Amino acid sequence: MMKFLSTGLIALSLIISISAPAVAQEGKAEKPQSDAITLQQLLEQVRQGRVSDNADFAAREKEFRDNRNRQKTLLTRTQNAIKREEARSERLEKSFADNEVKLAELEGLLNERLGVYGELFGIVRQVAGETKAQIDESVISGELKDRSAPLSVLAKTKGLPEMEQLEYLWFALQEEMTAQGEVKRFTGEVVNLDGSLRQTEILRIGPFTALADGAFVRYAGDNRYADLGRQPPSRFGDAADDVWDGDAGELVAAPIDPSRGAILNLFLQMPTLFERVNQGGLVGYIIILLGVFGVGLAMERITRLTLMSRQVKTQMTAGDTASVGGDTPLARIWAVYQANPKTDIETLELKLDDAILKEMPALEKHLALLKLLSGVAPLMGLLGTVTGMILTFQAITLFGTGDPKLMAGGISQALVTTVLGLVVAIPILLLHSVAATRSREIVQILEEQAAGLIAAHAESK
């Protein structure tokens, strides 16, 4: 019996030791119990613990059942919602497919109804872009401002243009055409060469030419004009002055640029005479110095020989050897004849020939030099041509042939020196011919007079 009680106490103590942690794990606060002293107390404690555990187990089971019911209800709701959304998705997919088919039909109908309108509107956009580009570069835009913005919008539009846009395109074209036939004065802005602006009167000749203060100006964009670095040749400047000073209704010859500035820019890029000469370099300046020296020398010889020829002809017309005087070749020939009245014919002829030979150096003075200069000038031009071509080939060697401007300097020198050599040689050669002719005329007169004097002396014998 005691053995049975001991075994029961051990088992009961194990149950209590196991139940206590389980209750602690549930997180419930238990009141501390006093240690059992008798078996009856121990049995009572076991009974209370069993009743408490049964209550806890029942509460937990009820909580689990409630949670299961809530989860089942939530699952049912979710499944019902999924079914509704799946049905809605099926309806939307069917509607989307139907709309796709309908949209394709409508697009086909739209393209069919548009017909040539798509191409027409494409042409409208193209015309708007071209008109905008023309207006942006037009001389007229300095007077009629802010015209290109609506055209830019029309040119970039992807949809159908509006009626207002089409009307503005028509209006812009008509306005440009009307202004092209006008010669008009107005006040506009001009950009000075230093970058500053000035308000001044501008005369516009259609879409071709613009004048400000009587001088040519170019259209610089942004509704402004700009002064030119230099003006075109004087013949165009004179015509511009006539237009600027002309009265309304008066017919005058006006300079126009049908290329709308391109020809004017070409005129401005053309080098002046000084720039052309400067392209010849050192050789070109040497040729010019030779030309100036040769022309001056030739003019001096021609002037002197012309005066001398007139004096000789005047004395020859007088024919009075007794009254001959003055410092002329004919007077000196007659003086030789008069100094030898009794000399025989052969001796007199020799003396007269000697007198004529003495006059020859003065009459032919510097003629050989002029002839030399007329031959040296083209040779100097040829020298400049060779040096210019050397510079050209050096540029080709260093930089290749990609940029023709790098070779332009040498080619310009070659051509300009050739031209300068010919320009100098031709007038010097002509002047040399004139001077030589004057000299030969005087010599011929002297020889004729000497022959006459010898004939007269022979008759007197």
Q: Which residues pair with 213 in a beta bridge?
A: none
pLDDT tens digits, the chain, 461 residues: what are they?
Answer: 444 444 444 444 444 443 444 333 344 444 444 565 777 777 777 777 777 777 888 888 888 888 888 898 899 999 999 999 999 999 999 999 999 999 998 888 877 776 656 677 888 888 888 888 888 888 888 888 888 888 888 888 877 788 888 888 889 889 888 888 888 888 888 888 888 888 888 888 888 888 888 888 888 888 888 888 777 877 777 777 777 877 766 777 778 777 777 777 777 777 777 777 888 888 889 999 999 999 999 999 999 888 888 888 887 777 654 444 567 888 888 888 888 877 778 888 888 888 888 888 888 888 899 999 989 999 998 888 888 888 777 877 777 766 666 666 677 788 888 999 999 999 999 999 999 999 988 888 888 888 888 887 787 76
Letter for the amino acid at 128?
A
- Pairing of β 215-221 and β 224-227: antiparallel
Task: Judge contact between 388 and 417, C-beta under 8 A.
Answer: yes
* Tokens of residue 294, six digits: 């040769």
Count of Cβ atoms closer than 10 Å to residue 41 Cβ = 13
Closest alpha carbon to 211 in 169, 157, 257: 257
Closest alpha carbon to 457 in 382, 362, 352: 352
Does the predicted TM-score (pTM) go above 0.85?
A: no
Per DSSP, the residues of 420-439 read HHHHHHHHHHHHHHHHHHHH
Closest alpha carbon to 422 in 368, 387, 376: 376
Task: Judge contact between 255 and 209, C-beta under 8 A.
Answer: yes
Element spanning 184, H or E: strand 183-191
Task: Judge contact between 169 and 148, C-beta under 8 A.
Answer: no
* Tokens of residue 173, six digits: 């074209």
Task: Judge contact between 241 and 235, C-beta under 8 A.
Answer: no
Closest alpha carbon to 264 in 212, 210, 339: 210
Task: Judge contact between 169 and 149, C-beta under 8 A.
Answer: no
Ranges of each domain in the chain:
51-114, 118-180, 183-269, 279-460
Rounded distance between C-alpha atoms, residue 56 and residue 74, angstroms: 27
3-state helix, strand, coil in the chain (%, to 5): 75, 5, 20
Residue 289, SS3? helix
Cα Rg for the chain, rounded, in angstroms? 61
